[in-house]
Amino acid sequence: MKGGSAAHRDIIRLEKRTWLNDEIVNFYGAMINARSDEADKREAKEGPKARGEGVKRLRKAFCFNTHFWNMFGDHGFSRVKRWTKRFDTFEKDIIIVPINHNNSHWVCAAVNIALKRFEYYDSLGNPSAFVYDRLRRWLAEEHKSKKGGKEIDLSEWENFWMEDLPLQANADDCGVFTCMFMESLSRDVDGFDFEQKNMP
């Protein structure tokens, strides 16, 4: 699949009590991107209803590769500028950002263009001002790049944290929760309809 691949050594990480690696999370993100691209094509031919309706409706979503977060943080915008060259970020509903904190914990962040808010989902229940700040810096740079140097006013954009977020009950399932957050964010879903007992 374009943007993602998974070998047998990666697939076996889907077994119980095993941490997911970058390849699995990236493959899931690539699936979301491919599905969203197909919905874009259907919508262009058939109209908005072609994206589906209700919870089955696919948002105009883009999911970054797991390397985006550290690449932008460590090396600056110039190193990730080309990652969105094939589309206008500001015509998307949502930009999804999987993050691996210190190579020890998966979380999911998002820039919700449609709702004008920065979102953060951590299955351990820990909000992070640091993540919101970096998302804001990226979006400001992205806007200048895409809109001819024009600044974006982010003063009314919200830093969103969900109080009743589904939480993991073990030390292993953060990657699975992150993929489920990514899946829900790519659809027109209000909240999350899964919890620890739903995890295989």
Q: Hey, how many other C-beta atoms are within 10 angstroms of the C-beta on 1?
A: 11
| Integer angstrom CA distances of residue 137 from 1, 79, 154 | 30, 14, 10
Catalytic residue among 63, 108, 122, 173: 122
Specify whether 67 is catalytic.
no
Residue 165: helix, strand or coil by DSSP?
coil
Catalytic residue among 63, 105, 173, 179: 105
Spatial CA neighbour of 36 closest among 95, 82, 77: 95
Specify whether 105 is catalytic.
yes
| Integer angstrom CA distances of residue 118 from 10, 45, 95, 96, 171 | 31, 31, 10, 10, 26
| Integer angstrom CA distances of residue 129 from 17, 135, 138 | 30, 10, 14
The CA R_g of the chain, rounded to the nearest whole Å, is 17
Residue 42: helix, strand or coil by DSSP?
helix
Tokens of 65: 């590769």
Catalytic residue among 63, 108, 174, 179: 174
Specify whether 108 is catalytic.
no
**Which residues are identified as catalytic?**
105, 122, 174
